[in-house]
Structure 1
């Protein structure tokens, strides 16, 4: 059943390219409870209905927060060209990596120190990730314009990529690898924003980026398509690549379709 307040097709113009997103299930605008949700609750009591409806509203609030954060990260990541993907871990004998505020402060200060001391044009975008233990944190960072920041060859090669270490990171262990596609790494880094992270970091910054990162307001349009497959028929010859991403937080998958910048998408 179609909900008039939902969409399953979104077009985003990033200036130098166009991205289409196809959603496996409809996305509701404004975090509202859909008509479908209401119909699914038709056989419960009034008190149960109110309680379940409030639960759904709270779930949608968290999911909306996750999506807003992902969209904000993606917008910064996509607007810039990146050279290195870095992971920073913390030695627990030196830093209490369960303290989110502490690891955020340490990593921000270190990145700004690099910018001041070694790379005045350094750009960075940092996103935290929770360890599998659900308690401790590490940081993923996109870097470009690294100036004279020192990288050491670790002697390790993964998936054909040479792995480096950053000897200047004194709080624990670090790895860095060359980025092949800024577009693809922009999608990849968003996967670290989860429902659990959003819940644990309420009212705190969930990512940080250098002031010199390019920022722009993307041009967005969305609608509901009865047959999303029309996008492939219409732009098949102009599609650069397609990637499908599962989003368990909202129980849907998103298919990202990159369309050549020369092509202007039209209403389907």
Structure 2
């Protein structure tokens, strides 16, 4: 039997941050068996759920792990086939594994999201990297990017082509930013190729639920991120918020 909880509070720990979320309504309990609608309606439901789940996981993995670089990885047509995402993913994964073996003193992790170019045919990647050897990084050859502090990863350039690395200065902002690349259009494109919406290193940390409950009274909290069904905010400590809700395990 299902039941609804109004003004539900959830607090999750994301590494050095806490995310406070207030949901107008959440549904708990066992849901009656129901077949997904066929045709266009069913496909839209699956699409929405897939995008939502992927955004949630990308945000958690972005916030719960330390990152040094926001990266853009493209492909040089003189060096690599640009329209084969499956091959790109496979070869990039092997490239990173080999690179790790050559640099054992570095914790090299990644979280990457594919994106089609404007031509709707060729692929590139956006995402996050942790440690990379500084000996392998150099001022970016494009003057406009170099003047903004972007670097070039020479090992990637030799194997695949153009890239740019920008230092992560605000982990929350960059984590929120990369989720914008998870779209319905991307889901449709990668599903047709039997690929994923994002790719990441194994064993990345995810968020931990530390508290939940109900607001004592509905208070119109102004939060940084507000939507039609919920609102949320990242804070360094959530002790101040405990006075406003009653903890409950649901």
Tell me the TM-score range normalised by the shorter chain: 0.7 to 0.9
Structure 2 residue matching 1:140: 3-state secondary structure: strand
2:116 corresponds to 1:127: no
> Alpha carbons of 1:212 and 1:57: their partners in 2 closer, same or farther (altered >3 Å)?
closer
Alignment partner of 1:197 is 2:182: no
Shift of 1:222: 8.2
Tell me what 2:66 maps to.
81
> Do the aligned partners of residues 174 and 255 (structure 1) sit closer, same or farther apart at CA in structure 2, a change above 3 Å counting?
farther
Name stretches of at least 5 consecutive residues in structure 1 with no aligned partner.
33-51, 233-238, 246-251
Structure 2 match to 1:19: 19
Q: Residues of 2 paired with 1:137 and 1:150: CA distance? A: 24
Deviation by residue 1:119-173 (Cα, 9 ceiling, x = unmatched): 5411221211122222221011311222355111126456984011111112110
- The secondary structure found in structure 2 opposite 1:138 is strand
- Residue 58 of structure 1 and its aligned partner are, at CA, apart by 2.6
The alignment covers a number of residue pairs equal to: 229
The match for 1:260 is 236
Equivalent residue in structure 2 for 1:208, among 180, 199, 202? 199
CA contact (8 A) 1:9 1:22 kept: yes
Q: 2:162 corresponds to which residue? A: 173
TM-score by length of 1: 0.69
Determine the structure 1 residue equivalent to 2:34: none
Q: Which residue of 2 aligns with 1:104?
A: 89
Query: Residue 134 and residue 221 in structure 1: after superposition, are their counterparts in 2 closer, same or farther (change >3 A)?
Result: farther
Write the distance in 2 (CA, Å) between the matches of 1:124 and 1:87.
12
- C-alpha distance after superposition, 1:73-129 (max 9, x if no partner): 111111112111111101123322221201111222222222221254112212111
CA distance in 2, matches of 1:181, 1:200: 30
Any gaps of 5 or more consecutive residues in structure 2? 32-36
Q: What pairs with 1:107-186 in structure 2 (closer than 5 Å)?
A: 107-118=92-103, 120-148=106-134, 150-154=136-140, 156=143, 161-169=148-156, 170-186=159-175
What is the deviation of 1:201? 2.1
